[in-house]
Amino acid sequence: MLRLDCLRSVYPELENGLVVTIMGAVAAELHSLGHRPNFFYLQHAMGLASSTGLGLALCLPEQTVIVFDGDGSLLMNLGSLTTMARYRPKKLVHVVFDNESLLSVGGFPTATSTGTDLEGIARSSGIPRVITVRSVESFKAAVSDAMQGSELTTIIAKVEAKGPAGYVTDLALLENRFQFRRHIQSLKGR
């Protein structure tokens, strides 16, 4: 299963939420499908995409918030699972692309390649719904269910360690950040 195919399968639905991604391949691939003002790419600060999603979800409980995390990033901030589970915002969807690799820095294997079980960690942290998916069809179904459901969900998507040729996009970091905030403020007027 390729991450790009997973992202493509849910891309139309992402219009209905606020999306936060980690850096590297995830950001570049989502951007390659077509940037939208409700997408924020956290191009550094590894581990904090899930915390950002939690902050958004706690402040905007009516909004669906989707975080595209990765195994390397989540392993840097496992405590975030416990904080998310503690407050369990109903409309927060936490997707973890697990390619068992720190792909963008040369493909070094992470601990999930030697047996660390992110589904088990998420479940034991108290995340109410946790699911592992291995096909694009089941990925699409899991994300759709979580977006329409009313329970904090972590989806572990086992993907191949393959990414795009480059990671730099033509969207400046600050442009993305200001556009994202302005988009959220515009939603309040509706």
Q: What are the Cα distances from residue 47, in Å, to 9, 37, 70?
A: 25, 22, 9
CA-nearest of 42, 41, 5 to 137 is: 5
Footprint of another protein on residues 156-175 (CB under 8 A)? 173-174
Q: Candidates 73, 80, 99, 154: give the one binding another protein (CB under 8 A).
A: 80
If one asks whether residue 47 binds another protein (CB under 8 A), the answer comes out as yes
Please tell me the distance from the alpha carbon of residue 164 to that of residue 83, in angstroms, as a whole number: 32
If one asks whether residue 45 binds another protein (CB under 8 A), the answer comes out as yes
| Number of neighbouring beta carbons within 10 Å of residue 84 | 25
If one asks whether residue 126 binds another protein (CB under 8 A), the answer comes out as no
If one asks whether residue 181 binds another protein (CB under 8 A), the answer comes out as yes
| Number of neighbouring beta carbons within 10 Å of residue 106 | 7
Instruction: Name the β-bridge partners of 189.
Output: none
Decide whether 37 or 162 has the Cβ nearer to another protein: 37
**Residues within the interface to another protein (CB under 8 A):** 18, 20, 40, 42-60, 77, 79-80, 82-83, 86-87, 173-174, 177, 180-181, 184-185, 188
